[in-house]
């Protein structure tokens, strides 16, 4: 049996590991367009300026892991075509890889600014370690850095830069940071955190033009004009779905999959950031947890094992001295309730639609996060009234 994984992403390598741990006897081939073993993505924005940061420390797996587990990793290769009649994956090198199963683990790529705003050749976005190397090299002689976009990646970059004494400005088109993914209350918390640490955040302004001068950039928004030494782009990502669309697999803003993470074509699957599981999640989930969970679903199906039960997505972010841990999916019309944690500096926000708990965001509050995860896992009914009760010990909710 031949399994071909397109993309050595966290999801792709997790799938190979799941299969090998459960005695998969077939051949596994991973096709990866990068020319080096891919790395973990979270440290790229969180730790790239740390003294001990290096590519070797954050490889998803060492070279030896692929050799020991007999996983063929084809680097600097691209899958150009899939011949569904012959059941071959055709590579840019003209090599044909036979398959019984294909799994798209192609991930997502950063969105870029329109060329009318800033030419592509001048845009720096965070995709992989090669981008980090460019950024580290460029900022050595810089002082003022402007980040376009106030999502988690932009905020983590701002935190890392500010801790190393760079002057940082963030421009966000929405009226608040993290608007798509977080409660208003959490957005306000992180806005204060960044402001207190010297980051300048500009919201509710559209970027009109970025003009590169000899050794700096001029930023023009709908309300102001200023100069900056370097521009970093962090305006979100879009899933890599071109090959799936090319072979007529159903796609929307991701590759559509069912609960098995199988696409509209039998024996072809999609996992991780490129997969849109509308039945259970309804939206694209961009997280390490989803990469691992979707990989476990496909692995279990291929091996004939019991399907792993649904899990609420969870996520974390490190900024300055703060660790955010969230579970569930925030919805814009939610009612959000604040709770102070037991320890100084710990907080959590519980978001409901009616009496249906949708999301819990915990800052430096491991207990609240852990209990919230168990509430979702055990499908415990929790009301707004209970969470508003400051005398309530959260542990009582899961007894």
Q: pLDDT (tens digit, 9 = 90+) per residue, 140-167? A: 889 999 999 999 999 999 999 999 999 9
Question: Residue 52 has what pLDDT?
Answer: 82
Which of 70-79, 118-127, 194-203 shows the lowest mean pLDDT across its residues? 118-127
Edge-to-edge strands of the sheet including 322-328? 314-319, 322-328, 356-363, 347-353, 335-340
Which residues lie closer than 8 Å to 170 by C-beta, 6 or more apart? 146, 147, 148, 149, 150, 154, 155, 158, 177, 194, 199, 200, 201, 202
147-319-271 Cα angle (round to 5): 80
- Taking residues 182-197, report their average pLDDT: 98
Question: Residue 154 has what pLDDT?
Answer: 96
Query: Is the whole model's pTM more than 0.85, yes or no?
Result: yes
CATH superfamily, domain 321-398, is FAD/NAD-linked reductase, C-terminal dimerisation domain (3.30.390.30)
Q: What is the pLDDT of residues 18-30, one digit of tens each?
A: 999 999 999 999 9
CATH 3.30.390.30 range(s) for the chain read 321-398
Question: Residue 39 has what pLDDT?
Answer: 92
- Taking residues 36-53, report their average pLDDT: 89
Question: Residue 267 has what pLDDT?
Answer: 97
Q: What is the pLDDT of residues 278-309, one digit of tens each?
A: 999 999 999 999 999 999 999 999 999 999 99
Class of domain 112-233: alpha beta
CATH 3.50.50.60 range(s) for the chain read 2-109+238-303, 112-233
Percent of the chain, pLDDT > 70?
100
Residue 28 in contact with residue 72, Cβ under 8 Å? yes
- Per-residue confidence band for 56, with pLDDT thresholds at 50, 70 and 90: confident
Question: Residue 121 has what pLDDT?
Answer: 83
d(CA 87, CA 106): 19
Q: Is residue 270's pLDDT more than 90?
A: yes
Question: Residue 128 has what pLDDT?
Answer: 87
For the chain, give the mean pLDDT: 95
Q: Is residue 111's pLDDT more than 90?
A: yes
Is CATH 3.50.50.60 correct for 2-109+238-303? yes
Question: Residue 148 has what pLDDT?
Answer: 97
């Amino acid at each position: 049996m031949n399994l071909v994984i397109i993309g050595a992403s966290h999801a792709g390598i997790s799938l190979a590991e799941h299969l090998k741990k459960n005695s998969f006897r077939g051949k596994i081939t991973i096709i990866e367009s990068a020319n080096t073993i891919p790395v973990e993505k979270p440290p790229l924005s969180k730790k790239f300026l740390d003294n001990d940061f290096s590519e070797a420390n954050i490889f998803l797996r060492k070279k030896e892991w692929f050799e020991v587990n007999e996983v063929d990793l084809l680097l600097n290769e691209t899958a150009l075509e899939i011949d569904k009649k012959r059941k071959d994956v055709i590579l840019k090198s003209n090599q044909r890889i036979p398959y019984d199963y294909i799994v798209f683990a192609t991930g997502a790529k950063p969105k870029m600014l329109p060329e009318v705003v800033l030419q592509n050749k001048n845009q720096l976005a965070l995709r992989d370690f090669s981008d980090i190397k460019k950024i580290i090299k460029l900022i050595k002689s810089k002082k003022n850095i402007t980040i376009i976009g106030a999502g988690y990646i932009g905020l983590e970059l701002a935190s890392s830069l500010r801790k190393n004494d760079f002057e940082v400005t963030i421009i966000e088109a929405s009226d608040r940071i993290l608007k798509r993914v977080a409660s208003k209350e959490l957005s306000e918390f992180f806005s204060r955190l960044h402001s207190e640490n010297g980051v300048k955040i500009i919201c509710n302004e559209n970027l009109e033009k970025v003009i590169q001068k000899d050794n700096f950039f001029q930023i023009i928004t709908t309300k102001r004009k200023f100069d900056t030494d370097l521009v970093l782009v962090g305006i979100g990502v879009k899933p890599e779905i071109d090959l799936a669309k090319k072979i007529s697999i159903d796609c929307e803003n991701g590759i559509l999959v069912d609960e098995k993470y199988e696409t509209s074509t039998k024996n072809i699957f999609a996992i991780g950031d490129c997969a849109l599981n509308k039945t259970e999640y309804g939206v694209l989930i961009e997280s390490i947890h989803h990469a691992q969970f979707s990989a476990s679903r496909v692995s279990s199906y291929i091996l004939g094992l019991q399907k792993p039960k649904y899990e609420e997505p969870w996520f974390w972010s490190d900024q300055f001295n703060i660790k955010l841990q969230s579970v569930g999916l925030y919805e814009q019309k939610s009612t959000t309730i604040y709770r102070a944690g037991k320890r100084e500096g710990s907080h959590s926000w519980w978001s409901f639609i009616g009496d249906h708990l949708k999301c819990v965001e915990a800052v430096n509050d491991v207990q609240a996060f852990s209990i919230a995860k168990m509430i979702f896992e055990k499908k415990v009914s929790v009301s707004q009234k209970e969470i508003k009760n400051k005398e309530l010990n959260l542990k009582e909710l899961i007894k």
